[in-house]
Chain A
Amino acid sequence: MPLYNRLKEYRARLGVNQQEMGRLAGVSRQTISQIERGDYSPSVTLALKIAKICNVSVEDIFTYQEDENDGEI
């Protein structure tokens, strides 16, 4: 999955646990946990919502990094 994130770091800055972060973003604790582990790439809406909660831009939290094989012909 080429989407990397720093959600755990920003959540720690806010001083909230996964359950509270989930409540703020309107999703479950498990979803926050999956995003942090990199097992789930959130929708644009959810990514924007999370960025708004953390008071930063989406790119600060989520970074798209191309795989080495991407774009090869």
Chain B
Amino acid sequence: MMEKSNAKSDNRKALPKYLLILFVAAIFGGVIGFLSGWMGHASLSETVEAAITGFLTAIAPWAIPVTSLVSLGLILWLYRSAKALFTGWDGEDDAVMDRADQKLNWALLLTTSQMILDMFFFAVAETYSGPAGGLISVLFFVVSVFSLVFAQQKIVDLTRRMNPEKQGSVYDVHFKKKWFESCDEAERRQIGQAAYKAFNVANAACPILWMVLIIVSFAFNRGILLPAFSVCLIWLLLNVTYCLECIRLGRRK
């Protein structure tokens, strides 16, 4: 009974703020919708579209090699710094190993980010380059992805030297499972917290992205179906996986 009245009181407190947010969002959406509709009818959208197309056409052939070289340079620098810290470690100052770990984490983040960038620039190159440019882009894409996977393996190898209890090879298809199984309770908790944050960020990003796509479709008179389908599919997959896993983990063993 007490819990029910507490819940009602919490709802009463939160409701006005929620309604205010809805009201502001509705006004904002109306204004943006009107402006994007106006932009779609005016020549402004054509000017913006031409500028974006020009920019993408210009960067298409060079985007993969240039960004990859920058990322791989930074990854190499971080890897070497971490390796130097590890090899020079006296076995006493644990802060040194923490710094080496941090450097390797940043290097891993860079490899993953660059791989996602490669996927995007590959699509850009295939859309905005000619047949020769498209073929060269395929070559750049393959070389970059192989280099990044190799870099990931080197980082994982060094991490394993620093933490001998860790298991798994990047080339193994079951790498993530093996790595997770070799993590202890504190590391698994950390993974859980990071995954929950990523889930919340993605859950907030999906509706924003969906809204942006709708606005862009009005402004540039473009089809919305495929982009909206992609966003909604990812959003659905994220939530269904999360809820099903919660149900599975909540079952009595």
Residues of A that sit less than 8 Å from B by CB: 17-19, 22-23, 26-31, 33-35, 40, 42-43, 46
Contacts and interface: CB of A to CB of B under 8 A. Distances in A.
Interface in B228-250: none
12 contacts: A18-B94, A18-B97, A19-B91, A23-B165, A26-B165, A28-B166, A28-B183, A30-B98, A30-B101, A30-B163, A31-B186, A42-B186
Given A17-B92, A18-B94, A19-B91, A31 B163 contact: no
Contacts of A17: 91-92, 94
A29 to B, nearest CB: 6
Closest 3 CB pairs of A and B: A31-B186, A27-B184, A18-B94
Nearest to B90: A17
Contact of A29 (B97, B185, B189): B97
Interface in B165-193: 165-166, 183-187, 189
A28 B91 contact: no
B184 A26 contact: yes
Q: Interface size class for chain B?
A: 10 to 19
Given A23-B165, A28-B165, A30-B101, A42 B94 contact: no
B186 A28 contact: yes
Main secondary structure of the interface of A (DSSP, over half): helix
B187 to A, nearest CB: 6
Given A23-B165, A28-B163, A29-B163, A40 B94 contact: no
Nearest to A46: B185
Contacts of A40: 186, 189
B98 A42 contact: no
